[in-house]
Amino acid sequence: MDIRSNDGCVDALIENATLTNSSSTGALIIGFDSEALDTLKTAAICSAFLSICGSSFVIMTYHLMRVHKPLVLSLLYWLSVTDLISSLVYIIDGLSANADLMSCEPFTFCVFKAMLHQTFNLAAMLWTGSIALNLHLGLVLQAKIARQPAKFLRRLHICIWSFAPSVSLLLLLNGSYGRAGWCWIREHKAWQRFVCYYFPMLLVLGYNAVVYFLTQKTLLAMKTAANNSSESSIELTSSHAVQGLARRMRLLLVIFVLVHTCSIINRLYDFFSPDQPSFFFSLLQSLSAPLQGLGNAIVYGFGSSRVRQTWGCNSDRCSCCDFFSWRRKAKNNVPSEVAAATVLSEFESPTDSRRESIDPG
């Protein structure tokens, strides 16, 4: 190790010294003894494992489908891939020995894990926002790009996989990564945590909420138009499909809030009481933070008739998925010119029935 590396090691030890005290029971890290820290790690590992199961379910379902894959399923697929990698990092970090937080030897690996945490957690937020963006552009604004799913998905990839790694790289160049009870942005750079993580989280949360209310407004307008239209059957069919998608949007919003609210509360508590961290809030954060993948599987997986059919459940209500399923209306082929058809890229979109009939797969 050269002199510069030694200096970095000394700096890391000095920083840890401000967060750590010795005791007969082991190291106290960020105010918790080894036993408490093990409990937090175990909680995070268990939640991450459940998230991996949920993400893997969505990914396998996507590849097992031999019919047309709508855009929203592609968005959910990439969200699940991102959540899967993020959950794996949670597990790797949780399996690290507590002593590693006091050692300079794994510092480079710790920085690498911190970069992965930041990159894929931020990317997961952006993919969540992209689902709302798809609904906003296609249903509310009826934008042209929403009728070009391949082009739209390609642009999303460019934006998300340019922005998230760039933010992570800037934090690396600024020396922001290190040990903070786990490997992430250091405690004394709290403003960078807010700008690079919590602020985007709040933006996505707010945008999802706005899109949901706009969707409900559009849905109400569609119902009114259906009641006054001579082709009310077509309008009502589209209205039912949009209503199902709006319901999923609401549940996704609830999942997003539940997953991230505990993290925000814990960070606010730490900000106002930096010397007295709360084990209860930390435990809630450890339990909830990795669960996005499981929530996505519940909202967009188990409740979809197409997913149930993919796994061999051919009836409208399958016993193995009955707990998560919602009542479905009878679905008929409808003209693709219906205004909402372009965004009904839901698993059971009315327009997909015709696509499936001509799909060679």
**pLDDT score at 83:** 95
Separation of alpha carbons 55 and 84, rounded Å: 6
Largest CA distance in the chain: 81
30 with 267: CB under 8 angstroms?
Answer: no
H runs (alpha helix) in the chain: 3-17, 34-64, 71-95, 107-135, 149-173, 190-193, 199-227, 232-272, 279-288, 292-297, 305-310, 352-358
Report the DSSP pairing between strands 177-179 and 20-23. Answer: unpaired
* Whole-prediction pTM: 0.75
- Closest Cα to residue 101, out of 23, 10, 180, 26? 180
Residues of the chain with pLDDT under 50: 1-29, 100-106, 316-317, 319-361
**pLDDT score at 12:** 46
**pLDDT score at 227:** 66
Separation of alpha carbons 232 and 143, rounded Å: 24
Separation of alpha carbons 128 and 314, rounded Å: 29
Task: Give 93's Cβ-side CA count (13 Å radius).
Answer: 30
Which are the contacts of 233, defined by CB distance < 8 A and separation ≥ 6? none
φ/ψ of residue 28, rounded to 5: -100, 110
Tell me the CA distances in angstroms from 265 to 4, 155, 199, one per residue in order.
38, 34, 14
Separation of alpha carbons 247 and 88, rounded Å: 30
**pLDDT score at 24:** 30
- Closest Cα to residue 33, out of 41, 17, 21, 15? 21
- Could you say which DSSP state residue 148 is in? -
3-state secondary structure of 312: coil
**pLDDT score at 238:** 57
180-193 tens-digit pLDDT: 667 888 877 888 88
Separation of alpha carbons 12 and 222, rounded Å: 60
- Could you say which DSSP state residue 302 is in? I
318 with 325: CB under 8 angstroms?
Answer: yes
**pLDDT score at 191:** 85
312 Rama class: left (phi>0) / alpha (psi -120 to 50) / beta: left
Separation of alpha carbons 228 and 99, rounded Å: 70
36 with 188: CB under 8 angstroms?
Answer: no
Separation of alpha carbons 221 and 230, rounded Å: 16
**pLDDT score at 327:** 39
Amino acid identity, residue 90?
Answer: Y
DSSP calls for 191-245: HHHIIIIIHHHHHHHHHHHHHHHHHHHHHHHHHHHHHT-TTHHHHHHHHHHHHHH
36-69 tens-digit pLDDT: 888 888 999 999 999 999 999 999 988 888 777 7
3-state secondary structure of 123: helix
Separation of alpha carbons 229 and 109, rounded Å: 63
Which are the contacts of 329, defined by CB distance < 8 A and separation ≥ 6? 237, 240
